[in-house]
Chains A and B, each alone.
Chain A
Amino acid sequence: MNFQIATLLGQDGLTNGAIYALLALSILLVFTVTRILLIPLGEFVTFGALTMAAMQMGKTPKLEWLLLGLVLIDCALDVYQQIKRHIDRNKMKMIALKLGYAVIIIALLNNLSLSEIPMIAQIALTLCLIVPIGPIIYRLFFQPLADAPALVLLIVSIALHVTMVGVGLLLFGPEGARTQPFSDTGFRLGAVMLKSQTLWVILVSIFLIVALFIAFERTLYGKALRATAVNRMGARLQGISPIFAGKATFALAAFIGSASGILIAPITTLYYDSGFIISLKGFVGAIIGGLVSYPIAAIGAVAVGMIEAFSIFWASNYKEIIVFTLIIPFLIWRSMNSHNVEDDE
């Protein structure tokens, strides 16, 4: 291995690591706030990538039907609950807004010539299409189980993952897809060519991580989510509803997932079922962080990306095995160090 190969591999490792770090942070966020291990996070990644690819091929992404279907079920449930209890005008307005939003997005998708609009508009549309799916999924599948044991939540999460992979196959077909890079230029750093998409991935990831950090440290809404993670009852007593917290974290996770998909789609070919492995590597990062520490999780995820890249060079057949074996020493170490933190007031 010479220096040039090392920098190339390092570049790949860093790109993947940045994505894993984003995913690790959202897994951690969802877990600490809702106790749900968000296994379907990877599906948001593939949905994001494949939706972008469909648009660039000039096709209307079929994911619109998923959004429409979910919004309709959601609103139907809302109306049913309103009738059962009492009719609240504000809630009715919310229902109308939700339906209106879905209709507008679908109208836009069907009337714009999607392959010709600027890429930034394609990205915005993709995000507008996918992000609302997150909170609706929380509301339909997890909100009724808010007090269920963690194991039940995990089983539902796995079921949801399997279902979403199936839906992915149905909506996007079995073919893989790649998208155009954000910009075509390359950069020369000494003797090495840096792909511009690499820079995009790293810069956007850093930007998102910093933005998340600021949101959670500085804004009262971010603090409210943290508070829910720290003490659920305490948060409820301040009027911070766990439902609000759940929906907000799922929206964030859907956003980060689909944004990651959009970022890596120009670099790797993604299939309807590629998401799981990707999010699993983010998960390894989250485990390294002990499912509590954000900075350690992010560093762990970058390490996973690096190890993956370098194991491609030395033992490419074993790269997944090497990455996932990594988790074992950390799990052992964690379980030896862990003490039961049951209820701290």
Chain B
Amino acid sequence: MTQATEKNLLDVSDLHVAYGKVEALTGIDLTLKEGKLVTVIGPNGAGKTTLLSAIMGILPSKGTIHFNGQDFICPNVETLVGHGLGLVPEKRELFSTMTVQDNLLLGAFQRYRRGDKSYNQTLNEIYELFPRLWERRQQQAGTLSGGERQMLAIGRAMMSKPKLLMLDEPSLGLAPLITREIFRIFTDLRSQGVSILLVEQNARAALKVADYAYVLEGGQVAMQGPASELANDPKVIEAYLGLASKHQELLSS
């Protein structure tokens, strides 16, 4: 079992992404071991969303992406979804004119296609996790509140039972209590064996739940290490963790 958990589920090496002539990522190396929760933090515009998009095959990239025992060179999104990669994108990309329930069911499209009939059970699990979605299951996704939309996006991604779930700022716009709830769900998921790659602005919370962390700056990995070590690193505290309190001091003075 130890051997299995030590397997690299995701292995990204020397990843380059450019928007036209502007390079947004310049040589990223990142690994994620099976069953781990890895977080990527960094300032606005560091390239976190770009990184997730490139891994997912939404953006063309240079470099190699090794996922679940296979090499993918510029793969397409659908293939990766079929291999067990899931993404909650920054823009959420919900089906706004369809009901909450349809949105969730469509998350299981690949499973349905493969003939896996157990998706209804997953649906119930997700309703248990987010009772709000159950209450609103016949409502159009476009009319949900911001926080409900986040829950729907996360729930929809979980419907495909991905091996690796990538989340782009899942706590954006959520009330503190729900944020805590969502982070708890991530630790639960990890204990069920789902690996997670988490991009977060809420660095403090992310470092608390993560096993390993990367700090991205200007399209490069500026720092990396076990999350607990980074959480105590003076540079990280200065730049990401202390920021909020310092900011508040400034505001109140």
Residues of A in contact with B (beta carbons under 8 Å apart): 220, 223-224, 226-227, 230-231, 233-241, 343-345
Contact B109 A234 (CB under 8 A): no
Contact B89 A227 (CB under 8 A): no
**DSSP class of A's interface residues: helix, strand, loop or mixed?**
helix
Show 28 A/B contacts (Cβ-Cβ < 8 Å), sorted by A. Answer: A220-B112, A223-B98, A223-B102, A223-B105, A223-B106, A226-B98, A227-B98, A227-B106, A230-B95, A230-B97, A231-B94, A233-B58, A234-B94, A234-B95, A236-B58, A236-B78, A236-B81, A237-B77, A237-B86, A238-B106, A238-B110, A239-B113, A240-B78, A240-B106, A240-B109, A345-B92, A345-B93, A345-B94
Residues of B within 8 A of A239 (CB): 77-78, 81-82, 109-110, 113, 160
20 more A-B residue pairs beyond the given contacts A238-B156, A239-B78, with a C-beta to C-beta distance below 8 A: A220-B109, A220-B112, A223-B105, A223-B106, A224-B106, A227-B98, A227-B106, A231-B96, A233-B93, A235-B95, A236-B81, A237-B56, A237-B89, A238-B81, A238-B110, A239-B82, A239-B110, A239-B160, A240-B78, A344-B142
Q: How far is the CB of A35 from chain B (nearest CB, A)?
A: 17
Q: How far is the CB of B222 from chain A (nearest CB, A)?
A: 29
Residues of A within 8 A of B96 (CB): 230-231, 344-345
CA distance A40 to B209 in the complex (A): 56
Does B91 sit at the interface, judged by CB under 8 A?
A: yes
Contact A220 B81 (CB under 8 A): no
Contact B98 A230 (CB under 8 A): yes
CA distance A236 to B53 in the complex (A): 12
Does B35 sit at the interface, judged by CB under 8 A?
A: no
Contact B107 A238 (CB under 8 A): yes
A-contact 0/1 string along B124-166, CB 8 Å cutoff = 0000000000000000001000000100000011001000000
Does B197 sit at the interface, judged by CB under 8 A?
A: no
Contact A236 B98 (CB under 8 A): no
* A343 (CB) vs chain B CBs: closest residue: B91
**Which chain B residues in 63-108 approach chain A with CB under 8 Å?**
76-78, 81-82, 86-87, 89, 91-98, 102, 105-107
Residues of B within 8 A of A343 (CB): 91
One of B81, B112, B149 near A237 (C-beta < 8 A)? B81
Residues of B within 8 A of A223 (CB): 98, 102, 105-106
Residues of A within 8 A of B91 (CB): 233, 343, 345
CA distance A241 to B109 in the complex (A): 11
CA distance A69 to B105 in the complex (A): 39
CA distance A85 to B78 in the complex (A): 17
Q: How far is the CB of A237 from chain B (nearest CB, A)?
A: 6
Interface size on B, residues (CB 8 A): 31
Residues of B within 8 A of A224 (CB): 106, 109
Q: How far is the CB of B56 from chain A (nearest CB, A)?
A: 7
CA distance A14 to B78 in the complex (A): 43
One of B76, B81, B95, B157 near A231 (C-beta < 8 A)? B95
CA distance A116 to B210 in the complex (A): 73
Known: A238-B156, A239-B78. A220 touches B93 (CB 8 A): no
CA distance A230 to B109 in the complex (A): 16
CA distance A238 to B81 in the complex (A): 7
* B88 (CB) vs chain A CBs: closest residue: A237
CA distance A226 to B97 in the complex (A): 10
Q: How far is the CB of B2 from chain A (nearest CB, A)?
A: 32
User: Which 9 pairs show the lowest CB-CB distances between chains A and B?
Assistant: A234-B93, A239-B81, A239-B110, A241-B78, A236-B77, A230-B95, A227-B95, A238-B109, A233-B93
Q: How far is the CB of B150 from chain A (nearest CB, A)?
A: 11
A-contact 0/1 string along B194-208, CB 8 Å cutoff = 000000000000000
Residues of A within 8 A of B157 (CB): 237
CA distance A343 to B142 in the complex (A): 12
Residues of A within 8 A of B76 (CB): 241
CA distance A154 to B81 in the complex (A): 31
Q: How far is the CB of B143 from chain A (nearest CB, A)?
A: 11
Task: Tell which of A220, A236, A238, A241 has the most Cβ of chain B within 10 Å.
Answer: A238
CA distance A226 to B140 in the complex (A): 14
CA distance A226 to B160 in the complex (A): 19
Q: How far is the CB of A226 from chain B (nearest CB, A)?
A: 7
Residues of B within 8 A of A236 (CB): 58, 77-78, 81
Residues of A within 8 A of B81 (CB): 236-239
CA distance A230 to B106 in the complex (A): 12
CA distance A238 to B82 in the complex (A): 9
Contact A231 B93 (CB under 8 A): yes
* B91 (CB) vs chain A CBs: closest residue: A345
Residues of A within 8 A of B102 (CB): 223, 227
CA distance A240 to B81 in the complex (A): 9
Residues of A within 8 A of B77 (CB): 236-237, 239
Q: How far is the CB of B111 from chain A (nearest CB, A)?
A: 9
* B157 (CB) vs chain A CBs: closest residue: A237
Residues of A within 8 A of B89 (CB): 233, 237
CA distance A233 to B168 in the complex (A): 15
CA distance A10 to B79 in the complex (A): 52
CA distance A345 to B152 in the complex (A): 12
CA distance A240 to B102 in the complex (A): 14
CA distance A159 to B82 in the complex (A): 36
Q: How far is the CB of B114 from chain A (nearest CB, A)?
A: 10
A-contact 0/1 string along B222-236, CB 8 Å cutoff = 000000000000000
